Amino acid sequence: MYELIQVADRTYYIQSPAKIGLYRLSEHDVCLIDSGSDKDAGRKVRQILDRNNWQLKAIYNTHSNADHIGGNKYLQNQTGCRIYAPGIEECFTRYPVLEPSFLYGGYPMKDLRHKFLMAETSDVLPLSDDVIPEGFEIIPLPGHFFDMVGFRTPDDVVFLADCLASRETLSKYGIPFIYDVAAYLETLEMVSGLEAKVFVPSHAEASDDISELARFNIEKTEEVGERIVELCSSPLNFETILQKLFTFYGLTMNMQQYVLVGSTVRSYLSWLKDSGKLNTEFRGNMLLWER
């Protein structure tokens, strides 16, 4: 873990729970794509930089989930690097309590205010075309989170952030986190047609062809929607739908899984209602969902 892997002339990634991209701007200057999950990840990244006599100039965050921005503060304090994040992700990165608040739908209890859902705050600037290195391309990847992006480096390596889950993850857990199902499916369709020298998803193996995995993610995303519609053959409230999905996919409920999967299921319900596959009704002061 935290092995530096070179995939092109100037492009590398650091093998970690959420892969960290690294691009050599010059002989001694580098930038990162994301920063890892926490202060310890930041320390390990700093050790790699020191071993190679590299100076960190900037971190480009793909999105604001804690496992992608957790090393920001440490690395910024150590190196003085600038940090950039796209759109709404800038706000979540600057005010990390927004993530558990959004997931829970209210003020988050202590059980949710931990490093896996709430990174330390960092001084972040808005991401735009005029702040990325020459030859970089920003690739919008909405769906998993609000304004998530990926990056193509000048030597044709594409970092795909969290828009793809591995086959193993999908087979084991069934329901990856999604904020906007319609946007997510559109992103997967776009990604399935991309070409690059190497693709680096944050939570799947690097590959020179991502189309098959993208199609698999599309199939699994649609399967969850179909399952929810089947469950709602008779009127059900949200908690019952969530309980049945946890049981069907063999998941174990705890507070973190309750908010992560729960938020995703609410997004599915919105998508299914907007597309006319589910109706809603208030009965006995309870919101019910029905096919």
Q: Please check whether residue 124 is in contact with residue 95, taking contact to mean a CB–CB distance below 8 angstroms.
A: no
Q: In angstroms, how far is CA 35 from the centroid of its own chain?
A: 13
pLDDT in tens, the chain (291 residues): 999 999 999 999 999 999 999 999 999 999 999 999 999 999 999 999 999 999 999 999 999 999 999 999 999 999 999 999 999 999 999 999 999 999 999 999 999 999 999 999 999 999 999 999 999 999 999 999 999 999 999 999 999 999 999 999 999 999 999 999 999 999 999 999 999 999 999 999 999 999 999 999 999 999 999 999 999 999 999 999 999 999 999 999 999 999 999 999 999 999 999 999 999 999 999 999 999
How far apart, in whole angstroms, are the C-alpha atoms of residue 93 and residue 266?
Answer: 23
Q: What is the pLDDT, as a whole number, of residue 135?
A: 98
What are 208's two structure tokens? Answer: 């020179």
What are 127's two structure tokens? Answer: 């991401």
Helix (H, G, I), strand (E, B) or coil at 100: helix
Express each pLDDT in 200-211 by its tens digit. Answer: 999 999 999 999
- Domain covering 230-290: architecture: Orthogonal Bundle (1.10)
Q: What is the pLDDT, as a whole number, of residue 19?
A: 98
Which one of 3.60.15.10, 3.40.50.40, 3.50.90.10, 3.40.190.90 gives the CATH number of domain 4-127?
3.60.15.10
How far apart, in whole angstroms, are the C-alpha atoms of residue 110 and residue 122?
Answer: 21
Q: Please check whether residue 221 is in contact with residue 184, taking contact to mean a CB–CB distance below 8 angstroms.
A: yes
Express each pLDDT in 30-68 by its tens digit. Answer: 999 999 999 999 999 999 999 999 999 999 999 999 999
What are 89's two structure tokens? Answer: 């992700």
Provide the whole-model pTM. 0.97
- Boundaries of every domain in the chain: 4-127, 230-290
- Given this chain, do its domains 4-127 and 230-290 carry the same CATH topology? no
